[in-house]
Amino acid sequence: MTSPTLTIAKKEYRDSARNALFITLAGFMVLLTAVSILVASFSFQAEVAQYNAALSQLTATQRAGAVIPAPSYYPLLMLRGTIEYLEIIGAVLAIVLGYLAIAKEKGSNTSRLLLTRPVSRAALIGGKVLGTSLLILTLLALLEGFIILSITAIGHVAFSSPELLKLTLSFSYTYFYLLFFFCFSAALTLFFKDLPRALLLSFALWLVFVLIIPQIGDTMDPDNQVPGGFFASMHTTQDQQHAIIAQFQNYENFRNALEVSSIEKHYERLVFATLGIKGMYNDKSLGYIMGDKWPDLALLLAFYIAGVGAAFLFASNKRIMASSP
């Protein structure tokens, strides 16, 4: 005999996997992944072509001894675009799933019937969280498989074991990030009687926390005011740069406070470090990366726990049954 939580989880998984909205968005996510890998590979190709042209020019002018750094190929660095799409579009997908999970019960009044059965509210929400967790994990596993196959086919180089581990770990962080948005949207849909308003508010908060706040933090960065970087244009050393920025600590604190208020920034910092997209962590061991990035992991998990907690907190009988007239 299966528990009510498992039964609801299975039903949730089946319903969402068959939903046209989910299928469209999941297909779109795969398309975006393919586009970003394709663009990254052509960008690298252009970089190699530029290097070869510069090298032949040096050879022609008999300055072959001059050293220019050759572009190095790291398969995980091809994933910057994919991760950014998971941050933006993946969150939309999770919001839609969270909305559908609650709206379908409220809209069709099946929640009233469900609550007449010996099913606790915790089992109802727990089942939905579990079912969606399995669905998101399935989607992420498929996406990871697609990434491994396509990058191996394009680059003709197999992933090493540490690279595979880093990739899998990054996708585990993605699960926590996406599930936060699922729970957050489900909690708002439980909270509001007016379903479209709940969906609109979820999207409004997505805009603020995923697009606007990180964008403000980025555009307020003094180094981003000039193409190529302000400090690079001034030819300052790293030490001089740090000393100068230290004089504007209040401004930097405000900018940083904006960034850390968004779960997206913690997820991005953690995954960019793990995959080596952030230059200083490229080719470093997981232990070294974790030593530096554990606060971002802790905050990502804190957001996740808060999201799951909110979904359970708003699951009162009154709220589950309340629906638009």
Footprint on this chain of other proteins (rule: CB under 8 A): 20-21, 24-25, 28, 32, 35-36, 39, 42-43, 45-46, 49-50, 80-81, 84-85, 87-89, 92, 96, 200, 203, 207, 211-212, 214-216, 218-220, 222, 224-227, 230-231, 233-236, 240, 243-245, 247-248, 251
Q: How far is the CB of 317 from other proteins (least distance, A)?
A: 27
| Amino acid symbol at 221 | D
Complete DSSP assignment for 181-249: HHHHHHHHHHH-SSHHHHHHHHHHHHIIIIIIHHHHHHHT-GGGSSTT-HHHHHT--HHHHHHHHHTTH
Whole-number Å distance between alpha carbons of 97 and 109: 18
Q: How far is the CB of 95 from other proteins (least distance, A)?
A: 11
Instruction: Please say which residue, 50 or 120, places its beta carbon nearer to other proteins.
Output: 50
Instruction: Please say which residue, 78 or 130, places its beta carbon nearer to other proteins.
Output: 78
Instruction: Please say which residue, 62 or 239, places its beta carbon nearer to other proteins.
Output: 239
Q: How far is the CB of 211 from other proteins (least distance, A)?
A: 5
Whole-number Å distance between alpha carbons of 32 and 25: 10
Whole-number Å distance between alpha carbons of 147 and 167: 10
Instruction: Please say which residue, 130 or 182, places its beta carbon nearer to other proteins.
Output: 182
Complete DSSP assignment for 108-152: TTHHHHHHHSS--HHHHHHHHHHHHHHHHHHHHHHHHHHHHHHHH
Q: How far is the CB of 195 from other proteins (least distance, A)?
A: 11
- Sign (positive or negative) of CA dihedral 126, 271, 209, 28: negative
Instruction: Please say which residue, 2 or 247, places its beta carbon nearer to other proteins.
Output: 247
Instruction: Please say which residue, 9 or 263, places its beta carbon nearer to other proteins.
Output: 263
Q: How far is the CB of 87 from other proteins (least distance, A)?
A: 8
Q: How far is the CB of 200 from other proteins (least distance, A)?
A: 7
